[in-house]
Structures are given as C-alpha cells and as structure tokens.
C-alpha cells in the first residue's frame, strides 16, 4: 500500500491521471476485456449500492414504483421519434443474429448466417421507445394516469472515448418514465425529480449542484425541456450529474398513446423521463478526494468507521479486542457501519494508508496504553487531523464527527465552486477566464448559433440556465443582442 500510494499520481501533476489511478487503486473499477466497458469491483459497487438504496427510497417516497422493460429494442422503434433516432442511432450496439455455430475449420465458433434476425435489435441506449410502446396498452382513460414508473437497468451507448464511470459504453442507471394527463402535471413531475436529484447530490453525496435548464443544443434527444444538475469538479470542469426531461407529447404521438380525458375527449399523453447513472461515482470521486486517495461522504461510505488495534503480542491484542467489542456494538446500535480490522498479516501503518486510500471517513486506533487512559486515537479522513477521544461515550462523539465530516466536505466543495465562479461582461474577458477553469456567468442572446461559436472557439458550452440565478437582463457578450439572464458557461466532462 505504501507502494500503492506512492503510485498515485498527484492532482497537481496530472488531474486526469490521478482520477484513473485512484479508480483502480482504491478498488473501485477496472477496464474490462470489452472495449469501453468496465468491471465495477466490490468496493466500488458497495458505494453504488448505497446510492441506489437512497435514491430508490426517495423515488418510492415520491410515489414511484419499479418495473422492468426489455434490454433489446426493435430497430424500427428508434425511427419513430425523429430527434431521438438522430441522437442515438450513431452509438447503438446492434444484435443481428441469434446463434453461433462451430467454425468449419474447427477454430472456434462463428456467427451462424442462418440465424439472422428479420429485424435487427439494438441494446437500449435509453428506454423511451420500448416503454411508450408498452404504455399504449396500459393507458386508456384519465383514470389510468399518472403512471409513475422507474427502472434500474444497464444501458449501452457506443462512445468513442471512454473513461471509467464518467463515460463508458455500458453503464448502470435508473430511468424514470412517467405519463400524465396534463402538461402542467408532467412539468411539475420533471421539476420534482430534479429536486430529488439535487437533494440527493447535496445531502448524501455532499456535492453542491446548480439546478438549471439546458439550452436547446444540450437538450435530450426528443425532449422539449431538459432540466439538469451541474456540479463542479476540483479541476474546475463541470460534470452534468443528473437530468430530468419534459417530453411533451412527442413519444405519445410517436407511439400513438392517447387517453380519454374527463371531458370524454381523446388526447395524447404527456411524458417525462429522468435518470442518474454510475457517472455519479465519478462526480463523487472527483469532488472530494485528494492525493492520499478517496474521501467518501459518511452518508455513502460502505465502511464509516474502521478500528485498528496497535499491539505487540497476542495478549495485548486480546485485551484490546475486549475493549473494542462493546465499542463496535454501540456504534452499530447507532446504525454506523464499523469494521474492526484485527488481521494479523498487515501492519498498522499499512492498514492506515489503505483505509485512507479507500476513503473511510473515521479511523480509530487503539493500543494498550490507550486502554489504560480510557481513550482512542481518532483520525478524520477529510482533514487528516488526529485527536484523542474518551472511550466513554465514543459512539456519540463518533456519530457527531461523521455528521461534521459530511457537512465539512460539502462546505469545502461549495467554497471551491464559489471561488471558481466568475461573472464576465465581454467575450475577450470570457476567453481569458475560461482558460482558468470554473463556471463563468455571462450573458447570451439565446441562439444556438452563438452557443456553437463559443463552443468552437473556447471548448466551453452552456451548462445551464440557472433556475435560481440572477434574472437581470443584459446584452450578449458575443453579439451584443439582448439577453434575458446570465447563463453558466464551462468546459465539461
């Protein structure tokens, strides 16, 4: 581990390499034999499971139920919604055959040409099409609405440049797909789920986010409006962390989903969809971690507290263990996940560095003299500060410390974002500032052409039109035309 730590690139040397190193060395994920697809290792998956459980709870509390729709989508379904197919056709994994057979030359197996599918199937890049094709049979009357369904699933988008968690060909996600009787109700749902995502990001991931609306260029393919939460990473780049779409009646029209309203008139159904993915793992890692490894928010850490015994012989270990057992019980009784690492084949120093690398929020170290003094040594991962705490009442002080760490890393990330957010008036100023990273608040004339020009010239895009931002009008920094409010420009992942 000392070795592993030494191999961890420093953020200041190469932020991107630091991220890749950390994902691998902290045992979160690794590249697989299949291009662009990762293996999520048990420690990484344990964090994802905690995210899933919390999100799932929040979805159910807001009235949603889970269901499951097919992995494969008939190719023709994609073409039904013009913008949707435009957005996804170029990155689809296509299933063309349903059988292999032995190669005539005995060299293995080959695709059996006799098993060609009549219509090719694509692996879902997202499920609007198959789901709206299903909803047609579920919806007849306004009494059948709303439908509030979510799906936890794998999806595939054949991306050319991939990075673990941030952009992979296959990724895990949830996709909510709701159906409503009115435009207003659908719009309300889209905003409600944006708020669920932002609550989750801020309260569990400790990642401050800006809620906003996407410009037309950045909208989901097939949406009338895309809401987003945008986070800022330590290098000043933006990371889109979750989106919620108001789909209008686009998919209802494409799949002929109508209902009879209260006035007994047929009407197309209104839709939303919303999703977050394993990309959140990338946001989590890049927001908080440091040159010693991961820093995990206590609310999502699979191990919140690790206890390491410091001993010279078996007798001392037995004494320490006797003291540790009730501490573990009391912590667990408070719902805190604890690991007592009394493994004999690794030395304390090795363990310390390993749990630092893994981002365990609180480490307790306890030796023979500590027992005499009735204290333990406490190290908090966020600041790496050590202190002594009395064993008496340790469960209360550790519980408080975990909340303090949760708050502190959120505050730190927020402060970083604030320090990296600037307002500019002119395009020249913009070009200078964007090179320094961060979010730039600037006026924009609202046209795709201007956005495109800025992107081409500076690699920055409009991350969002903030919902809670300053709505003072002004003039576009590029064209001088009227602007309704400042928008956020940034380079992004």
Site residues (CB under 8 A) for a copy of itself?
A: 30, 32-34, 37-42, 45-46, 48-49, 65-79, 85, 89-102, 108-109, 111, 120-123, 130, 133-134, 137, 143, 149, 153-154, 156, 158, 170, 172, 345
Min dist CB 467 to a copy of itself, Å, is: 31
Does residue 98 come out as left (phi exceeding 0), alpha (psi in the -120 to 50 range) or beta?
alpha
Min dist CB 84 to a copy of itself, Å, is: 11
In terms of CB distance, is 332 or 415 closer to a copy of itself?
A: 332
* Residue in this structure with the two tokens 């889109």, named with its chain if needed: 240
Min dist CB 13 to a copy of itself, Å, is: 26
In terms of CB distance, is 12 or 264 closer to a copy of itself?
A: 264
In terms of CB distance, is 85 or 434 closer to a copy of itself?
A: 85
Min dist CB 306 to a copy of itself, Å, is: 17
Could you tell me if 372 and 170 are in contact, meaning their C-beta atoms sit under 8 angstroms apart?
Answer: no
In terms of CB distance, is 37 or 191 closer to a copy of itself?
A: 37
Q: How far apart are CA 167 and CA 271, in angstroms?
A: 27
Q: How far apart are CA 107 and CA 104, in angstroms?
A: 8
Q: How far apart are CA 488 and CA 211, in angstroms?
A: 11
Tell me whether strands 375-380 and 362-367 are parallel, antiparallel or unpaired: antiparallel
Min dist CB 492 to a copy of itself, Å, is: 24
In terms of CB distance, is 15 or 350 closer to a copy of itself?
A: 350
In terms of CB distance, is 141 or 387 closer to a copy of itself?
A: 141
**CA dihedral over 432, 434, 439, 282, signed as positive or negative:** negative
- In this structure, what are the phi and psi dihedrals at residue 216, rounded to the nearest 5 degrees? -55, -40
> Of 346, 259, 362, nearest to 305 (Cα)?
362
> Of 46, 17, 54, 12, nearest to 29 (Cα)?
46
Min dist CB 490 to a copy of itself, Å, is: 30
Could you tell me if 211 and 242 are in contact, meaning their C-beta atoms sit under 8 angstroms apart?
Answer: no
Q: How far apart are CA 350 and CA 3, in angstroms?
A: 10
Residues 6+ apart with CB under 8 A from 338: 303, 304, 305, 306, 307, 328, 331, 332
Residue 174's H or E segment, with its range, is: strand 170-180
Min dist CB 76 to a copy of itself, Å, is: 6
Min dist CB 440 to a copy of itself, Å, is: 35
Q: How far apart are the first and last CA of the chain?
A: 30
In terms of CB distance, is 241 or 278 closer to a copy of itself?
A: 278
For 375-411, the DSSP string reads: EEEEEETTT--EEEEESTTHHHHHHHHHHHHHHHHHH
76: helix, strand or coil: helix
> Of 471, 289, 248, nearest to 381 (Cα)?
289
In terms of CB distance, is 32 or 249 closer to a copy of itself?
A: 32
In terms of CB distance, is 140 or 412 closer to a copy of itself?
A: 140
Q: How far apart are CA 479 and CA 450, in angstroms?
A: 8
Q: How far apart are CA 297 and CA 62, in angstroms?
A: 24
In terms of CB distance, is 165 or 197 closer to a copy of itself?
A: 165
The tokens for 162 are 């991939």
Q: What separation in angstroms does the CA of 424 have from each of 230, 348, 432?
A: 19, 51, 10
Q: How far apart are CA 191 and CA 245, in angstroms?
A: 9
In terms of CB distance, is 177 or 486 closer to a copy of itself?
A: 177
Min dist CB 54 to a copy of itself, Å, is: 15
In terms of CB distance, is 15 or 69 closer to a copy of itself?
A: 69
Min dist CB 270 to a copy of itself, Å, is: 20
Min dist CB 97 to a copy of itself, Å, is: 4
Q: How far apart are CA 150 and CA 57, in angstroms?
A: 12
Min dist CB 63 to a copy of itself, Å, is: 11
């Amino acid at each position: 581990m000392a070795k592993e730590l030494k191999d961890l690139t420093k953020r200041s040397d190469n932020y991107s390499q630091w991220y890749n190193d950390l994902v691998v060395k902290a045992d979160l994920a690794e590249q697989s034999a299949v291009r662009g697809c990762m293996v999520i290792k048990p420690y990484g998956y344990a964090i994802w499971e905690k995210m899933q459980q919390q999100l799932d709870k929040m979805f159910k509390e807001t009235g949603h139920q889970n269901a499951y729709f097919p992995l494969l989508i008939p190719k023709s379904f994609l073409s039904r919604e013009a913008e949707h197919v435009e957005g996804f056709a170029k990155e689809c994994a296509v299933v063309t055959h349903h059988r292999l057979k032995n190669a005539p030359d005995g060299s293995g197996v080959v695709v059996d040409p006799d098993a060609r599918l009549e219509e090719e199937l694509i692996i879902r890049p997202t499920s609007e099409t198959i789901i709206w094709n299903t909803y047609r049979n579920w919806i007849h009357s306004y009494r059948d609405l709303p439908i509030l369904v979510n799906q936890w699933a794998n999806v595939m988008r054949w991306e050319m440049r991939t990075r673990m968690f941030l952009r992979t060909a296959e990724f895990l996600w949830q996709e909510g797909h709701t159906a409503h009787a009115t435009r207003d109700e659908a719009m309300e749902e889209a905003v409600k789920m944006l708020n669920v995502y932002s609550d989750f990001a801020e309260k569990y991931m400790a990642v401050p986010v800006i809620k906003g609306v996407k410009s037309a260029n950045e909208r989901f393919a097939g949406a009338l409006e895309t809401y987003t939460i945008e986070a800022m990473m330590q290098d000043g780049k933006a990371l889109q962390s979750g989106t919620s779409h108001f789909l209008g009646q686009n998919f209802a029209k494409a799949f002929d989903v109508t209902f009879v309203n209260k006035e007994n008139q047929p009407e197309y159904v209104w839709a939303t969809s919303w999703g977050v993915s394993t990309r959140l793992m990338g946001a989590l890692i890049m927001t908080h971690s440091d040159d010693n490894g991961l820093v995990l928010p206590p609310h999502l850490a699979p191990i919140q507290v690790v206890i390491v015994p410091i001993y010279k012989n078996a007798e001392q270990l037995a004494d320490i263990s006797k003291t540790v057992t009730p501490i573990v019980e009391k912590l667990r009784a408070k719902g805190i996940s604890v690991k007592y690492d009394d493994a004999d084949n690794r030395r304390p120093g090795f363990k310390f560095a390993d749990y630092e690398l893994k981002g365990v929020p609180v480490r307790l170290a306890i030796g023979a003299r500590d027992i005499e003094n009735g204290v333990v040594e406490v190290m908090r991962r966020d600041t790496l500060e050590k202190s002594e705490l009395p064993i008496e009442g340790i469960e209360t002080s550790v519980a408080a410390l975990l909340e303090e760490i949760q708050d502190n890393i959120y505050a730190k990330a927020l402060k970083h974002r604030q320090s990296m957010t600037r307002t500019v008036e002119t395009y020249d100023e913009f070009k200078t500032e964007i090179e320094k990273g961060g979010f730039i608040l600037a006026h924009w004339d609202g046209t795709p052409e201007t956005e495109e020009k800025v992107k081409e010239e500076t690699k920055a895009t409009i991350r969002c039109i903030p919902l809670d931002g300053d709505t003072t009008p002004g003039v576009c920094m590029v064209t001088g035309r009227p602007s309704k409010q400042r928008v956020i420009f940034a380079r992004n992942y």
